[in-house]
Structure 1
Amino acid sequence: MSMKLKIYFLTTSLVIITAIVLLALSVHSIWSHIEEEKFQEVSSLALLLDKNIEGTYEDLVKINGENGVTIEALNKELQPFIDKLTDAYPGYGTGYYVKELNSIVAFGPDFKKEGLIDISPDSLARNVYKTKEPYQFQNYSQTRDGVVLANIRPIIRDGEVIGHTWGNVLVEDMNSLFVKELKKGIGILIVILVIGLIGSHVITRQYIKNLKDFRKRVKSLDLNQQQAPKFGADLMEVYNDVVSSHVALVESEQRFRDVANAFEEFIWETDLNGNYIYLSERATHILGYEPHELIGRNTVDAVIKEDQEFIRKTLEKHSKEKTGFRNLEYRKITKDGELIYLSTNCVPIFNSEQEVIGFRGAARDISTKKKHEQQIQYLAHYDYLTNLPNRSSLAQAISELIKENKPFALLFVDVDHFKTINDSLGHTMGDDLLKHIGKRLTDSISSSDQVYRFGGDEFIIVMKNFEHINEIKNRTLKIVDYMAQPIFINNQQLFTSISIGISKFPTHGIDYESLIKNADMAMYTAKENGRKQFIIYADEFGENVNEKFELTNNLYDALNKEQFLLNYQPQVDLHSGKIVGVEALIRWQHPTKGMISPAKFIPLAEETGLINPLGLWILRRACLDRKQWLDAGIQDIRVAVNISIKQFQQDNFVETVLDILEETGLDPTYLELEITEGIAMNKHQDVIKKLTLLKEKLIYVSIDDFGTGYSSLSYLKELPINQLKVDQSFVQGICDGNYQILQSIITLAQAMQLNVVAEGVETKEQAEMLKEFKCSIAQGYLYYKPMPAEDLLAVLNPYNLTC
């Protein structure tokens, strides 16, 4: 083979081999990076699911003896959180498996109920039950129906593995990502290869041509005659070969720079002191600095202060050990002032004596990955709606306070009537209200205290730094009063209040569960006592909880066993004293507990769903009683029946009322329906439609407890109603000078041609002031107490209709 062919062959081979090596290194680097990143992310998801679980699975598994019901209950508890995670991180899968049930109980994405089955006997996930350690692998996933990279994390409670969580990502998705990343660099690599081949060919041809010319010139004595004999033709040829090799080396370095800049990492070199001696052009894209701006500067320059010492010690350690390092993460400020996260791999640089003289490596920007990790970490400890610490953070904080063994108080806060607001004004308004309440609670506490979102409309305040119980009471009273102020959301005024139950460490409990339970019982006692107040836990509250449980069970039988009855309270004309109507009030005649107040069992009926059949019974019974009075000759008196929001929201509500009227034979003009402001504000057009149908049938409609709800005047004037019933709280304060709101309501009603009923009139002074305000009708103990139907019939004698 001629020298010419050898040169062509060698230069071409060098270019091709260089390209192949660079391609292989790039492929390996990209895949390793993707695989490592995905394993870290699925591991974070599995860890997040483990931390999301409160208590033990045993509490949930024993909901019912049948596995199907238990799996369904667990799925209902856990699936929403998984759905949020898989929505937030598309492409990733995750889920829970319970060992006792031998079943997957929740998973995503693409949840299907049929997927709630046992894992296969040979599943690699079973390894964690032996090792009790997280396990990651690549294998087939039955929930994703494909090969995945997975991280299995054992759920360990009381030292035993009771199940596991997992995070996974489809290898198919990773392949797509790998191809996408590879395509970014392959085009440039091909161009470089082609340019290299063409360049080497041109250079070689030109070199040979120059060599021939040189030889010709030597032969033609064009070269310096004194130099030619001194070096000879062979030495001159070697000299020219060296020159050509130098040119090829420069071009090879340029090719290396081009390839290095084609990928995400930037290449760097430092001396033994950590000063930059080389940076690739990619550094400009990541750091914002041109390479020459950083040459000579120390690598810790622009690194945030908290990470500088760590980097210095790392370089010093590996310099002594003569080793490199991988995945060194630190934070740096770019030229534009942006904080970024970098991950660096490097190897030591040795001199001829094998002494470390510096380091050479590559760094990449991992800010996006860190942001995702921080989001996952945030969701594990903070409530996404209110941005308050969540239940997990609360449990951790309480545990730390208990270890300190210093007194603290736990305030269990519940928003009064939140369900009514949520049902009436919609979930969006409800969410906005919770945000405002969370912020207002935070504003109302001391700097040493902390508010937590416990769930739903429940919050927890951890109160510290108090000397005695009276200080707790005073600080809590300020919170209750502050929260009673109106809240404005979207130009709408909402009146809210809170009920608070308080437990104190260590007096009312020495662990998290007992403190929460006792504060919860105290809070429910505060609600039962009228709301808008706080109560400190006492031992007898446990007995009240048992009583509530017993009443709830008895409530199911009360309707069938005819334990309910109606009392009626007359309403009188303030000027003539004539009875113009009666309000039906339900009572529960319990076989062993005697008469039970509606304040105790109506909330239970709403919680259990019995409010609808109970409401139908009240309406039917009231219509039957009024028909009996009509048959006895009692005319011109309406019977008023309270309608719950759940009753009114039923699509067939109007038809149901008309059916009962037809069934009992009562003329519609003798029936009055009382609805709350909350009902009036819910789905406004639907409310107007139903009220219009009722009015067309000559049924009288009143807004009950007016002034305590959320009505706006623009909505109120559109409602086809006949009457406003003013809440007794406005009536009771008029003799003390607090009459402006009541007077405004009466004036408003008169302007809208509506009657006004004042509830809770107990004194003659109140009655006289109501007359002055031109209120038309009154109801209260000053005139009549609620009474059974048979007693009312005697009062309603045609010859005794005045008081």
Structure 2
Amino acid sequence: MTPPPTKLLLVEADRLVAERVTHALSASGDGMFRVRWVTRLADALDWLHRHAESSVLLNLSLPDQQGLAVFLQVSEAAPDAAILVLSSGSDDALAREAVALGAQGYISTESFDASALPLLCTHVIETQAAKHALMDSEARFRAISDASPLGILVADSEDRCVYANAVYHAIVGKGPAAAVGSSWFGTVHAGDQKRVRSEWRHAIHHDQRFQSELRFSRPGEPELWVRVHSAALPGRHAPRGHVLTFEDITGRKANEVVLRAAEDALFDEKERAQVTLNSIGDAVLATDVEGNVSYLNIVAERLTGWPKAEALGRPLGEVFRTIDGEDRTEAENPALMAIRENRTVALAAGSMLVRRDGSEAAIEDSAAPIHNRAGKVVGAVIVFHDVSESRAMTLKMAHLAQHDFLTDLPNRVLLTERLSQAIRFAVRHRKQAALLFLDLDYFKHINDSLGHTVGDQLLKSVADRLRTCVRATDTVCRQGGDEFVILLAEIERRDDAAQISDKILAAFGPPHHIGGHELHVTLSIGISVYPDDAPTLDSMLQNADAAMYHAKASGRNNYQFFKANMHAEAGHRMFVENGLRRALKRGEFVLHYQPKVDIASGAMTGAEALLRWHEPTLGLIGPAQFIPIAEQCGLIVPIGRWVLRQACEQVMSWQRAGLAVVPVSVNISALEFRHPLFIDEVSKILTETGIDPSHLELELTESVLMHDAESSATALEALKRMGIQLAIDDFGTGYSSLSYLRRFPINTLKIDQSFVRDIETDVDNATIVGAVIGMGRNLKQRVIAEGVETALQLSFLRREHCDEGQGFLFSYPLLPDALARLLKMPHAAVVA
């Protein structure tokens, strides 16, 4: 049969923590735990007064009470429950005080291992149960008293009394004449008759010994409770009757017959004690006053490796040998110390038991002297248990509390501790310490496009490379996400930090091979040096973080030392990020549309949607001022979806107005294109807006497409099947393989404006533009030149037979209404 689930009370005000704990326990399988969750101390105490719980997971910071008072009230309400304290990390000292007061342990809610929580709870509950079992066993030992009076009755096969001793007559209040010949059931209280007869028949039918507790009715006297035992009287062919013993369990004592029955009861108790000792989880070992082994239970045999038959009589030091787990020295035997000093002795922490075969086990134990009636020490008893698993779990939990679960690098808790030590060392020895704040460039792009599994493996690979770049005295820490921190504990000068940073950047030149993918990853590094840049631990972290963002703004894949003005830049970045979030909610973004023109005829052939932000206080802001920040903080994906949907809705609005619409192009960022739901989102927008897919063109840069060319080709084919037009933006500024360029289903190549700008004076740029035009013609792709601003540039493009142009010479970006006026004249030339 499946055992009933373990009842557990969760007392936690933080819903997120409660959900994590509940999910972890629910995920253990087979319904092992039944969790009751409350958020207030009052609710917990009310529940515990009405229910018995095996365990309590308790946060000491609750809305209606905080601190050790929470633990004390809960432990008083549930004295038998195992209590685990939930600590948020900053409350560890308080949690340790609770453990000192009787809690079974504490768990950090910031970094606990969800898979280990069910095992930990089960272990604590079982340990508590074993403790109570041991206490019960000791109570039974103390309960074995001197003789108890017994009455004896011999009954024939018809249950009639043929003999009863005087104790029996005294118990039932009848003389021999009244007892002999009558059924002993006649004296049983009417309320017990039915039950006792049923138990008696069952015992006789199954040839079992009868045992029961019942009441005797005695005329004119109070009821008397007795314990009855029976044994069959053997005959030649069948039992001749039964012998019954009656123990007065109301406390009366009688003659020596009763004393003899009490000895039988004592024997029974001794047998039950033996069974109990062999069923508990703790090992029990006893010695005589000379220190020779006199008893082992089954658990002690298993833990020591000594069978009871071989161990009895041997010196305790042979059977029970302990050593210090750290220095390996022989430990003094606690039983011999208990005998010598006549007191209870606990084994030293960290002790190891050396088994008979030489293997070792971590144990916890205590030894107490055994006294005779005169109070003289006659031996000792040792109670011990194997704590190898719990000790390993404790070490594991301590490790997890200070290390990142994915990379096994130190986490921020351990970094803070080591940074404090490094600062103290620097002060004493007049040294410097440096903090390097590292962030992976475009990691979110990899995570979104290839999945979290690949992302996690990449983070592990990054951690391994960082370890190889630093000294043994340095600390590499994972701050969270794709952020890492390196503490250079002892440096002579600032250049030491620069040299380490150069080494790190060089180490990330080769690609990471993860799950069949060749991933190129770069880092942006911010450096803060103590004491020049920051006088405190917190300021070192803040300054290194600010320097890292400056490294990203400086093109990524570089390092920057902290400078005082970086905090102002960080403040600006935060202002923009918060503003972008507000802009999405309040509709502060607007689209302008810049016409594309057929160079031969001057007619408008399309328009590019260009994003602007109408900030309430600063006015209209161009994309160059906020798009990089949107990419850094992950807002580029929702902003990009808004642009795509808005552009499609605008085309439909023009079409419903009866205008001859032209295709509208939308720029797609790397993060958008690599998002796993990008294709589905595009399809959804096409369906919901009703736009003809041929009226939509998506522009992607070479670097985006070539980052993972195979995946890009697959995505482009899916978009092409929808009927969407595709263009490579800023062509010529990146690196693209001609073989892939032929595979990509591209309609248009857009020549970057940096080449067009100097086309009149720079021979190389003119050559490049001519070559791109020729390549597009051969690949049957239209070519459009960006940034056309002068008549001479236009004249050159005409001579080279470039298909289209876009730039201020033709038109500045226009609001939708202004572009609508051009659409009313579809065949009119935008420029002569």
- What TM-score range do you get, normalising by the shorter chain? 0.5 to 0.7
Alpha-carbon distance, 1:543 to partner: 0.9
CA 1:173–1:368: 2 relative to 1, 3 Å: closer
Deviation, structure 1 residue 476: 1.4
Tell me the residue number matched to 2:592: 566
Q: 1:151 to 1:478 in 2, by over 3 A?
A: closer
Change (3 A) 1:615 1:353: closer
Does structure 2 retain, via aligned residues, the 8 Å contact 1:136–1:151? no
Alignment of 1:476-495 (within 5 A): 476-483=501-508, 485-495=510-520
2 CA distance for matches of 1:512 and 1:449? 16
Residue 289 of structure 1: how far off its partner (Å): 4.5
Q: 1:135 aligns with which of 68, 72, 95?
A: 72
1:456 equivalent in alignment to 2:481: yes
Structure 1-normalised TM-score?
A: 0.59
Aligned partner of 1:586 in structure 2 is 611
1:671 corresponds to = 696
The aligned residue for residue 742 of structure 2 is 750
Q: Which letter does structure 2 place at the counterpart of 1:705?
A: V
| Alignment counterpart, residue 393 of structure 1, candidates 411, 414, 419 | 414
**Inter-CA distance 597–348: structure 2 relative to 1 (3 Å threshold):** same
Q: Distance in 1 between matches of 2:339 and 2:743?
A: 89
Q: CA deviation at 1:542?
A: 1.3
Q: Counterparts of 1:321-470 in structure 2 under 5 Å?
A: 321-326=341-346, 328-329=348-349, 330-334=351-355, 339-348=360-369, 359-404=380-425, 405=427, 406-470=431-495
* Contact 1:623–1:671 (Cα < 8 Å) also in 2: no
* Matching residue of 1:598: 624
Amino acid of the structure 1 residue aligned with 2:343? T
Amino acid corresponding to residue 483 of structure 2 in structure 1: E
Check the 8 A contact 2:39/2:62 in 1, yes or no. Answer: no
Distance in 1 of aligned mates of 2:513 and 2:697: 33
Residue 550 in 1 paired to residue 575 in 2? yes
- The alignment partner of 1:447 has SS state of coil
Distance in 1 (CA, whole Å) between partners of 2:590 and 2:583 is 7
TM-superposed CA distance for 1:706, in Å, is 0.6
Contact 2:322–2:330 under 8 Å retained in 1: no
Does the 8 Å CA contact 1:349/1:359 hold for their aligned counterparts?
A: yes
Unaligned stretches of 5+ residues in structure 2:
1-5, 46-52, 105-120, 142-207, 211-229, 233-265, 756-764, 794-804, 814-818
- Superposed counterparts of 1:101-116, under 5 Å: none
**Cα distance, 1:557–1:635 mapped onto 2, change above 3 Å:** closer
Q: Tell me which residue corresponds to 1:205.
A: none
- What is the rounded CA distance, in whole Å, between the counterparts of 1:175 and 1:283 in structure 2? 17
- 1:580 touches 1:638 (CA, 8 Å); kept in 2? no
Cα 1:654–1:85, aligned 2, differ >3 Å: closer, same or farther? closer
- Say if 1:707 and 1:727, in contact at 8 Å, map to a contact too: no
Cα 1:539/1:767, change in 2 over 3 Å:
same
Identical aligned pairs, as a percentage? Answer: 21
Q: 1:713 to 1:497 in 2, by over 3 A?
A: same
- Residue 305 of structure 2 is aligned to residue 288 of structure 1: yes
What is the identity, as a one-letter code, of the residue corresponding to 1:264? G
Q: Describe the shift of the 1:473–1:545 C-alpha distance in structure 2 as closer, same or farther (beyond 3 A).
A: same
Over 3 Å counting, the alpha-carbon distance change for 1:95 and 1:454 in structure 2 is farther
Equivalent-residue separation in structure 2 for 1:491 and 1:418 (angstroms): 17
CA distance in 2, matches of 1:615, 1:561: 13
Question: Are residues 1:708 and 2:707 paired?
Answer: yes
Alignment size in residue pairs? 620
AA aligned to 2:285 is: W
How far 1:401 sits from its partner (Å)?
2.1
Shift in alpha-carbon separation, 1:126–1:447, aligned structure 2, 3 A: closer
Higher normalized contact order (CA 8 Å, seq sep 6+, divided by chain length): 1
When structure 1 is superposed on structure 2, of 280-289 and 359-368 the one drifting more is 280-289
The change in CA–CA distance for 1:79 and 1:606 in structure 2 (over 3 A counts) is farther
- 3-state SS of paired residue (2:472): coil
Classify 1:658/1:480 alpha carbon distance in 2 versus 1 (closer, same or farther; 3 Å): same
SS in 1 for 2:491: coil
The Cα shift of 1:428 comes to 3.5
Residue identity opposite 2:303 in structure 1: I
- Offset at residue 326 of structure 1 (A): 3.6
**CA–CA separation in structure 2 for the residues paired with 1:251 and 1:140:** 36
Structure 2 distance, partners of 1:454, 1:103, is 36
Structure 1 residues 33-59: Cα deviation after superposition (integer angstroms, max 9, x where no partner):
xxxxx9xx99xx99xx9xxxxxxxxxx
2:485 alignment partner, SS class:
strand
SS of residue paired to 1:341: strand
Match of 1:312, SS state, is coil
Contact preservation (8 Å) 2:512, 2:520 = yes
Note the alpha carbon deviations across 1:221-266, whole angstroms, 9 max, x for none.
xxxxxxxxxxxxxxxxxxxxxxxxxxxx999999987765444333
- In 1: Cα distance, 2:680 partner to 2:557 partner: 34
Which among 532, 553, 564 is matched to residue 528 of structure 1? Answer: 553
CA contact (8 A) 1:94 1:109 kept: no
Which residue in 2 is equivalent to 1:642? 668
Cα deviation per residue 1:632-686 (whole Å; 9 max; x = unaligned)?
A: 9999876344374689659775454466565xxxx6434202469xxxxxxxxxx
Q: Does residue 311 of structure 1 match 2:331?
A: yes
AA partner of residue 507 (structure 1): D
**1:719 aligned partner:** 718
Alpha carbons of structure 1 residues 714 and 304: separation in structure 2 relative to 1, 3 Å: farther
Cα distance between partner residues in 2 of 1:465 and 1:570: 60
